[in-house]
């Protein structure tokens, strides 16, 4: 008679004996295969990239002037400052006076909106500051009155102690 686990491999038998939940067991059984596949793809990518990078460096070494020109153009296009400089001094010169006036008006409207927003925020902030100052003054007066009450209590305690000590000496 065959055992009920006759079709199972030892690894599967260990899985059945484990107390971990089934998705975790399934993931653990797939992990070694996935890791080996990942390593194979990684090695293939590194070999291919190493070949293309070395070819590119050889090409740059052979054509240095062209490489410097490409790097300069890429710098002008990628970096913000040089890109703005190029736009203003080339394409910006093709704008008509009407376009320039429209751009100036649009920027003025944006500035006005920004100023109004800042005024609104500053008014709100000033209101908060006045409320904070009044709360601070109220707290200061409350603190002073509490200090006066504490001083009066201390003096009444001293008076009570002195009368109590005088009463005990008389006994």
Range 32-55 average pLDDT? 81
Cα separation, 125 vs 90, in Å, equals 45
DSSP state of 92: G
Range 32-52 average pLDDT? 81
Q: What is the pTM of this model?
A: 0.34
**Torsion from C-alpha of 42, 43, 49, 53, nearest 10 degrees:** 130
Res. 76 pLDDT band, cuts 50 70 90: confident
- Predicted confidence at residue 15, as pLDDT, reads 47
Alpha helix stretches (DSSP H) within 1-94: 10-17, 22-62, 64-78, 80-89
Which is higher by pLDDT, 167 or 101? 101
Residue 108 has pLDDT above 60, yes or no: yes
Question: Are residues 57 and 51 in contact, defined by beta-carbon separation less than 8 angstroms?
Answer: no
Q: How many CA atoms does the CB half-sphere of 84 hold within 13 Å? A: 3
Could you state, in order of their start, the residue ranges of all structural domains in the chain? 100-165
Cα separation, 9 vs 29, in Å, equals 12
Question: Are residues 29 and 15 in contact, defined by beta-carbon separation less than 8 angstroms?
Answer: yes
Cα separation, 21 vs 87, in Å, equals 62
Tokens of 139: 């707290």
- Predicted confidence at residue 1, as pLDDT, reads 42
Res. 3 pLDDT band, cuts 50 70 90: very low
Which is higher by pLDDT, 15 or 161? 161
């Amino acid at each position: 008679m065959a055992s009920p686990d006759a079709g199972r491999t030892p690894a599967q038998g260990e899985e059945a004996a484990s107390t971990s939940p089934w998705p975790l067991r399934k993931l653990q059984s797939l992990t070694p295969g996935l890791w080996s596949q990942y390593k194979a793809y990684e090695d293939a990518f590194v070999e291919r990239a190493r070949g293309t990078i070395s070819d590119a460096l050889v090409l740059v070494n052979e054509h240095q002037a062209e490489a410097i020109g490409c790097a300069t153009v890429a710098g002008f296009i990628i970096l913000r400052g040089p890109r703005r400089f190029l736009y203003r001094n080339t394409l910006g010169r093709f704008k008509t006076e009407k376009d320039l006036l429209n751009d100036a008006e649009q920027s003025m409207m944006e500035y006005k909106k920004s100023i109004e927003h800042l005024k609104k925020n500053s008014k709100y902030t000033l209101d908060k500051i006045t409320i904070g100052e009044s709360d601070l003054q109220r707290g200061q007066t409350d603190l002073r009155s509490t200090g006066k009450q504490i001083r009066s209590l201390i003096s009444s305690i001293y008076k009570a102690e002195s009368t109590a000590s005088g009463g005990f000496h008389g006994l």
